[in-house]
Amino acid sequence: MNFNIRGENLEITPSLKDYVEKKVGKLEKYFDTTPSSDVHVKMSILNNEQKVEITIPMPKLLLRAEEKHTDMYAAIDLVIEKLERQIRKHKTKVNRKFRGDDSLKYMFKNELEPLAEEDIPAEDDDIDIVRTKRFDLKPMDAEEAVLQMDMLGHNFFVFSNSVSGFTNVVYKRKDGRYGLIEPE
């Protein structure tokens, strides 16, 4: 794994860098072959809150977690726990459905234990877009999109529908169920 570690309002010390590499390196035990992907780590401090974000883009899978804590080392430990849960969840849930030879189930070791189961902005006349994201839309069906959304901890997920070819959105409803938005 190639590490890209950066800090905001924080200098990345060698001991902090070594700690992150050691902890993230422990995730390799969940894979049959060591992933050759980049590991993006962003650490920041705002007031007394220390935040760690780790993103590991891999073919057909995106692992991402973030955590806040008063201690940076504790925040790193909590993020690693979230990533481990994501890997186990992905292994147990997604791979029940996708059993083909090129499916993701062959990326993970078989010995994994199964996983047990805003504020409203003030009204203004002008709209202020504060962030823009760009990403590739992966072809998948709605069930896989819901699993990806849950794994990332988001309340919606944009994807390319593998059946229709259109861009669709799945979202989590207030009643805990899921919705699908698709064009006519």
Residue 131 has what pLDDT? Answer: 85
Of 79-88, 92-101, 113-122, 175-184, the range with the lowest mean pLDDT is 113-122
Residue, of 86 and 126, whose pLDDT is higher = 86
Per-residue confidence at 59, pLDDT binned at 50, 70, 90? confident
Residue, of 156 and 128, whose pLDDT is higher = 156
DSSP string, 3-28: EEEEEESS---HHHHHHHHHHHHGGG
Percent of the chain at pLDDT exceeding 90: 28
* 101 shares a domain with 21: yes
**Can you give the residue range of the structural domain that contains 63?**
2-107
Residue with tokens 């780590």: 41
Interatomic CA distance for residues 181 and 184, integer angstroms:
10
Percent of the chain at pLDDT exceeding 70: 79
Phi, psi of 93 (to 5 degrees): -95, -55
CA distance to 8, 23, 24, 101, per residue, from 29 (Å): 30, 11, 10, 22
Interatomic CA distance for residues 163 and 159, integer angstroms:
12
Boundary residue ending a domain (107, 124, 156): 107
Domain tally, the chain:
2
What average pLDDT does this structure show over 139-157? 88
Task: Give a yes or no: residue 116 inside a domain.
Answer: no
* 154 shares a domain with 69: no
Of 14-18, 116-120, 141-145, 180-184, the range with the lowest mean pLDDT is 116-120
CATH number, position 160:
3.30.505.50
pTM (2 decimals)? Answer: 0.56
Task: Give a yes or no: residue 41 inside a domain.
Answer: yes
94, 96, 100, 106 alpha-carbon torsion, rounded to 10°? 70
Over 70: is that where the pLDDT of 122 sits?
no
* 83 shares a domain with 22: yes
Task: Give a yes or no: residue 134 inside a domain.
Answer: no
CB 156 within 8 A of CB 169: yes
CB 37 within 8 A of CB 83: no
